[in-house]
Chain A
Amino acid sequence: MNYFESIGSYAIMIREVFKKPTKWKIMKTLILKEIDELMFGSLGIIIFISFFIGGVVAIQTALNLTNPLLPGYLIGFATRQSIILEFAPTFCSIIMAGKVGSYITSSIGTMRVTEQIDALEVMGINALNYLVFPKIVALMLYPFIIAIGMYIGVFGGWLATVSGGHGTSADFIEGIQLDFIPFHVTYAFIKTLVFAFILATIPSYHGFYMKGGALEVGKASTTSFVWTSVAIIFLNLILTQLFLG
């Protein structure tokens, strides 16, 4: 029953976020601040993860291609498909649930504990709009970060293949161009946008409605990471079935 109550109050929260907007002049500043903190602040970790995951995928594929009849371009092909379809949008989102999600929950949760949210409400400000809406808007730029992740991932795969002696550069480049379906990129970006919304709202929900003190802020961050990850993985299945199934 508690789960249903939580889903219900999450839905009410989403409705409240879009009600009674904050003055645009203030909102603009908040959005830019969130873009800087949530997006630019995550660029480094996304580049790092994508580069090494791309490299590992390429090496794993190369090591499994034991049959000499299999063409060398398969390494590039498998790397591209894995990175674009799954690793960049889904794997990076799980990492972001830890990085961005925990930050959102703990910052909003701390504001709750120290009565800063009460102070906003007493002033007649829609605290949910003030705190959550800029995060949703900022995270709508998440597909751009993931696009960079995709590029870096494939680049990491190429570098690992060529420098590790697993294949030639020409084969790899042929592989990444082979049977390219542009809709796969569209599908990846649609997924990323849905995950971005989840990344902004579930951690906000756990921070905004938390009760207790500093210890509970930590607990709320952990719970928010778990539920954000669960939602991402579950929606990944639904969206894959809807768009590719």
Chain B
Amino acid sequence: MIHVEDIRKSFGETEVLKGVTATFETGKTNLVIGQSGSGKTVFLKCLLGLFTPEEGSISYDGKVYDDLSADDKRNLRQEMGMVFQGSALFDSMTVEGNVKFPLEMFTKQSPSEMQDRVDFVLKRVNLIDAHHKFPSEISGGMQKRVAIARAIVMNPKYLFCDEPNSGLDPKTAILIDNLIKEITEEYDITTVINTHDMNSVMEIGEKILFLKNGLKEWEGTNKEIFKTDNEAVTDFVYSSELFKKVRQMYIEERN
């Protein structure tokens, strides 16, 4: 479980996060949504320890990040997996090299043990024949799978995903969303996903945090989001014609 308590983060004169408090539960897919510029990415980077908030605290299963020693912080980082928006695969390494990289860096496993683990996670993300291909030789959806495989190869306790299905076709996007959800439940991970994709919200939004202008505007589940009267949330959710029609049907049904 990750608990965020009143975090604030500024860049120069601009305050991006203005005091956000939230709890992300283990074994659930927690979504952070909001419009571009709402502070989602900065929020996620604070959770990852890439940005240090000026105020507030972040605790991981009760351990407050700021109170940890440098070694403990490093160990905690190794319990985190991250899927970047652009996959961030090491382009000079093959798919296998990318997935093996954390194992080579942080474990004392023998080459055969590492190979077994790599084969296992690549199979888990449904990538079987891409071991020796370079990231530039595979599709965007496959790159995302490799990124997920690399993120879970060390058996992380926390999984963070920044726009995991951006740039993917709707069918592949749903496959990636479902894969993340399955992995979260299977390995009992605390997963936090940044997204502005409403399909993801509908598919896997077990807990949703809506950010607006650096503040928590609303939180709830994917079932509650379509019923809320919060104007900012409804503006965001029903920005497309399709969802406007769904909303209209819902109101008509309710009346």
Interface of A toward B, CB cutoff 8 Å: 20, 22-23, 25-26, 114-116, 118-119, 121-125
B140 interface residue per 8 A CB criterion: no
Sorted nearest first, the 7 A-B pairs with minimum C-beta distance are A124-B77, A115-B88, A119-B88, A122-B82, A115-B84, A124-B74, A124-B78
Taken together as a complex, chains A and B put the C-alpha atoms of A26 and B106 apart, in Å, by: 11
Q: Does B50 contact A (CB under 8 A)?
A: yes
Given A23-B105, A114-B88, are A119 and B78 also a contact pair (CB < 8 Å)?
no
Q: How far is the CA of A124 from the CA of B86 in the complex (A)?
A: 20
Given contacts A115-B85, A118-B50, contact A123 B90 (CB under 8 A): no
Interfacial chain A residues near B78, Cβ < 8 Å: 123-124
Q: Is B104 an interface residue (CB 8 A)?
A: yes
| Chain B interface, number of residues (Cβ within 8 angstroms) | 22
Complex Cα–Cα for A121 and B104 (A) = 16
Closest to B70 in A: A20
For the complex, give the distance between the alpha carbons of A22 and B106 in Å. Answer: 10
Q: Which of B85, B88, B105, B106 contacts A116 (CB 8 A)?
A: B88
Chain A residues near B88 (CB-CB < 8 A): 114-116, 118-119
User: What is the CB-to-nearest-CB distance from B163 to chain A, in angstroms, rounded to a whole number?
Assistant: 11
B84: contacting residue among A20, A119, A124, CB under 8 A: A119
Q: A26-B104, A26-B105 known; A121 and B84 CB under 8 Å?
A: no
Chain A residues near B67 (CB-CB < 8 A) = none
B105 x A114 contact (CB < 8 A): no
> Is there a chain A Cβ closer than 8 Å to B19's Cβ?
no
Q: In the complex the two chains form, is A121's CB within 8 Å of B105's CB?
A: no
- Least Cβ–Cβ distance between A3 and chain B, in angstroms: 20
B91 at the A/B interface (Cβ < 8 Å)? yes
A22 to B82, CA, bound (A): 20
User: B140-180 interface mask toward A, CB cutoff 8 Å, 1 = contact, 0 = none?
Assistant: 00000000000000000000100000000000000000000
- Bound Cα distance A224, B104 (Å): 32
Task: Report the number of A-B residue pairs with Cβ-Cβ less than 8 Å.
Answer: 46
**Docked CA distance A122–B160 (Å):** 10
Name the A residues within 8 Å of B80 (CB-CB). Answer: 122
**A residues less than 8 Å from B105 (CB atoms):** 22-23, 26, 123, 125
Chain B 51-92 interface mask (CB, 8 Å, partner A; 1/0): 000000000000000000000011101101010111011110
The residue in chain B whose Cβ has the minimal distance to the Cβ of A22 is B105
Interface, chain B (partner A; CB < 8 A): 48-50, 73-75, 77-78, 80, 82, 84-86, 88-91, 102, 104-106, 160
Question: What's the nearest-Cβ distance from chain A to residue B149, in Å?
Answer: 13
**Cβ–Cβ contact B77 & A123, under 8 A:** yes
Query: Counting chain A CB atoms within 10 Å of each CB, which of B74, B105, B160 scores highest?
Result: B105
Q: Do the beta carbons of A123 and B86 come within 8 Å of each other? A: no
Please measure, in the bound complex, the distance between the C-alpha atom of A115 and the C-alpha atom of B85, giving whole angstroms. 9
- A25 CA to B110 CA, complexed, in Å: 13
Contact A116 B90 (CB under 8 A): yes
A20 to B74, CA, bound (A): 11
Residues of chain B lying within 8 A (CB to CB) of residue A122: 48-50, 77, 80, 82, 160
CA distance A119 to B85 in the complex (A): 11
A115 vs B160: C-alpha distance in the bound complex, in angstroms?
14
Least CB distance from A107 to B in Å reads: 9
Given contacts A25-B104, A122-B160, A124-B73, could you give 15 more A-B pairs where the C-beta distance is less than 8 Å? A114-B86, A114-B91, A115-B84, A115-B86, A116-B88, A116-B90, A119-B84, A119-B88, A121-B50, A122-B80, A122-B82, A123-B77, A123-B106, A124-B75, A124-B77
Chain B nearest CB, measured from A18 CB (Å):
16
10 A–B contacts, CB within 8 A, in A order: A23-B104, A23-B105, A114-B86, A115-B85, A116-B88, A116-B89, A118-B50, A118-B84, A122-B82, A124-B78
> Which residues of A are found within 8 Å of B73, using beta-carbon distances?
124
Measured CB to CB, the closest approach of chain B to A76, in angstroms, equals 46
Once the chains are docked, how many angstroms separate the CA of A118 from the CA of B160?
Answer: 13
Which residues of chain B are near A125, meaning CB under 8 Å? Answer: 105
**Nearest Cβ distance between residue B92 and chain A, in whole angstroms?**
9
What is the CA–CA distance of A115 and B89 in the complex, to the nearest angstrom? 8
Q: A235: shortest Cβ distance to chain B, in Å?
A: 32
| Residues on the B chain within 8 Å of A20, using CB | 74
Give the Cβ gap from B212 to chain A, nearest Cβ, in Å.
Answer: 25
Q: Tell me the smallest distance from the CB of A116 to a CB of chain B, in Å.
A: 5
A119 to B, closest residue via Cβ: B88
A227 to B160 Cα, complex, angstroms: 38
